[in-house]
């Protein structure tokens, strides 16, 4: 296919050569030799023009707006590497018509305001007229566009003022930008080979009489630089619709606002998505068109809300007002941040478990000791038990009696009912020691628990039975307390 195209080009060149010879013969009859040589040298000079190598692109925008990813896409790099400060890259540009190739320098400035001092490496007095500026904003945070674009335009304007350019050079750059807007005309689509093209999109000379008047509201702020505003990550629009309840009129309001901004600053506008590969190739072609004068025949695209393309010079206030006709809940005069508001901040939910700090062992033991002391003070000791233990001596060999000290060690309870029963028990024992008759007349014969037969009165039998039952119950209660204390430890 390329061989056939080359043959066609050779045939055209041969035909043009014959025509050129005929014209040269006729022109030679009208012009002098000096005039003829001057015209021929000019034609030869234009025909052998190579792509310049001193052109550059400066990319500005906040962090996380996709600057590095966008440039990597234009380079054809799949895995971009994020740098810091001022990044440098280059894009290979090839002119198929001239069979020429060059490299377009690209400077990407970090979004941190502290790196503004690096701008003089990318944009200075020597390359001012050869630099195109890209301003990036992300669709993931449209509520920040107003502050971001205003900030970077201010940074760019202040930096240009610091360059101390000659007034003539600055005015010439501004006038060239105005002429670009005035000379723009509608073009046909690349997909339609038969579509008419009114004017060539290459940088050819156009008479001042053919220039159209500048539209209202255009280039109110003229920095003398070609500016392209690129909206990145337009695939996030579906997320805005689902999670933040954005509707078409919200996107229309956003688009009409940013188009007014571009109109005021003489900028082009591109909605791009590297993830879905939308408008990335068209952006590359448009950059080579604006910088090197290569053909670009794609018209403005405003139908798809996530793939908008507005070339410099195409837009006007009347075209922008078409978007406002479909807006009901908002108007074009509304302030941007009143309609496009930041969403409520969401508190980050952490799934991390709370870290437990271990307590010092000695502090833990001291605290437990204090708890034990407080428990002892609350429980106290029964006055009756203390008096009984002092008054009752130990009598070895007496059946059914136990040492008061052992009883105190085993039976440690503060229940009022229990203390009453113990008091009755010890009182009965004391009453026995005080010389009560051992064998009243109403004695009955009852077998003793130790196997020996003896005569016990009804009162003694009742007391001994009650005491044995109470001791058995207290023994079980103490056992439960001991088991509960061991389980707590």
| Token digits of residue 468 | 């044995």
Crossing angle of helices 67-75 and 280-292, in 10° steps, is: 80
Placement of tokens 């007229």 in the chain: 129
Query: Of the ranges 73-82, 148-157, 328-337, 344-353, which one carries the lowest mean pLDDT score?
Result: 344-353
Query: Of the ranges 211-225, 380-394, 472-486, which one carries the lowest mean pLDDT score?
Result: 380-394
Placement of tokens 């053909």 in the chain: 295
Query: Of the ranges 219-223, 257-261, 391-395, 485-489, which one carries the lowest mean pLDDT score?
Result: 391-395
Residue 387: pLDDT over 60? no
**Region 337-361 average pLDDT:** 74
* Side-chain half-sphere CA neighbours of 293 within 13 A: 13
Per residue in 144-203, pLDDT tens?
Answer: 999 999 999 999 999 999 999 999 999 999 999 999 898 888 765 444 444 333 333 444
CA 323 to chain centre: 30
Check: pTM over 0.75? Answer yes or no. no
| Token digits of residue 78 | 């799949």
How many residues in the chain? 489
Residue 77: pLDDT over 70? yes
Please name which of 459, 446, 73 lies closest in space to residue 233, comparing C-alpha atoms.
73
- Give the per-residue pLDDT at 326: 84
- Residue 213 CB neighbours (<10 A): 6
Please name which of 242, 235, 275, 231 lies closest in space to residue 78, comparing C-alpha atoms.
275
The DSSP secondary structure of 198-228, one letter per residue, reads: SS-SS-----GGGPPPPPTTTTSS--SSEEE
- Give the per-residue pLDDT at 360: 83
| Token digits of residue 99 | 């069979």
- Give the per-residue pLDDT at 12: 45
**Region 86-91 average pLDDT:** 94
Residue 354: pLDDT over 50? yes
Placement of tokens 């229309």 in the chain: 252
CATH superfamily of 54-185+212-337: P-loop containing nucleotide triphosphate hydrolases (3.40.50.300)
**CA atoms of 416 and 419, how far apart (whole Å):** 5
Which one has a higher pLDDT value, 16 or 242? 242
3 state SS for 303-367: CCCCCCEECCCCCCHHHHHHHHCCCCCCCCCCCHHHHCCCCCCCCCCCCCCCCCCCCCHHHHHHH
Of all residues in the chain, what percent carry a pLDDT higher than 70? Answer: 62
Crossing angle of helices 416-433 and 383-391, in 10° steps, is: 20
Please name which of 135, 115, 336 lies closest in space to residue 232, comparing C-alpha atoms.
135
């Amino acid at each position: 296919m390329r061989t056939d195209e080359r043959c066609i080009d050779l045939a055209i060149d041969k035909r043009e050569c014959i025509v050129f010879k005929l014209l040269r013969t006729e022109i030679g009859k009208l012009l002098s030799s000096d005039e003829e040589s001057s015209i021929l040298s000019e034609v030869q000079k234009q025909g052998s023009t190579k792509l310049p190598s001193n052109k550059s692109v400066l990319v500005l925008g906040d962090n996380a707006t996709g600057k590095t990813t966008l440039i990597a896409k234009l380079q054809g790099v799949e895995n971009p590497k994020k740098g810091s400060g001022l990044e440098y890259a280059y894009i290979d540009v090839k002119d198929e018509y001239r069979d020429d190739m060059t490299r377009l320098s690209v400077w990407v400035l970090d979004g941190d305001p502290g790196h503004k001092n690096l701008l003089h490496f990318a944009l200075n007095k020597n390359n001012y007229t050869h630099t195109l500026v890209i301003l990036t904003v992300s669709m993931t945070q449209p509520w920040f566009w107003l502050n971001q674009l205003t900030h970077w335009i201010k940074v760019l304007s202040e930096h240009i003022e610091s360059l101390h350019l000659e007034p003539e050079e600055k005015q010439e750059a501004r006038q060239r930008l105005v002429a670009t807007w005035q000379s723009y005309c509608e073009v046909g689509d690349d997909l339609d080979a038969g579509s008419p093209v009114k004017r060539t999109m290459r940088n050819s000379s156009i008479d001042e009489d053919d220039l159209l008047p500048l539209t209202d509201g255009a280039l109110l702020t003229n920095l003398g630089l070609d500016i392209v505003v690129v909206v990145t990550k337009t695939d996030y629009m579906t997320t805005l619709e689902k999670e933040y309840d954005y509707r078409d009129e919200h996107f229309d309001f956003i688009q009409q606002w940013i188009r007014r901004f571009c109109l005021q600053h003489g900028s082009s506008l591109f909605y791009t998505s590297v993830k879905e590969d939308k408008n990335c190739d068209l952006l590359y072609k448009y950059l080579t068109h604006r910088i090197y004068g290569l053909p670009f025949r794609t018209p403005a695209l405003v139908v798809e809300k996530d793939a908008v393309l507005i070339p410099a010079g195409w837009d006007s206030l009347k075209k922008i007002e078409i978007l406002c006709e479909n807006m009901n809940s908002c108007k074009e005069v509304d302030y941007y941040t009143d309609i496009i508001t930041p969403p409520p901040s969401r508190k980050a939910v952490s799934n991390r478990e709370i870290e437990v700090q271990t307590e010092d062992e000695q502090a833990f033991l001291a605290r437990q000791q204090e708890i034990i002391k407080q428990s002892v003070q609350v429980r106290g000791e029964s006055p009756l038990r203390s008096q009984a233990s002092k008054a009752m001596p130990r009598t070895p060999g007496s059946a059914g009696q136990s040492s008061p000290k052992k009883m105190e060690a085993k039976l440690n309870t503060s229940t009022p009912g229990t203390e009453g029963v113990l008091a009755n028990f010890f009182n009965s024992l004391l009453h026995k020691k005080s010389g009560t008759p051992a064998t009243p007349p109403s004695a009955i014969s009852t077998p003793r628990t130790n196997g020996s037969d003896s005569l016990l009165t009804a009162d003694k039998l009742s007391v001994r039975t009650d005491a044995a039952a109470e001791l058995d119950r207290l023994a079980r209660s103490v056992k439960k307390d001991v088991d509960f204390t061991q389980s707590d430890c």
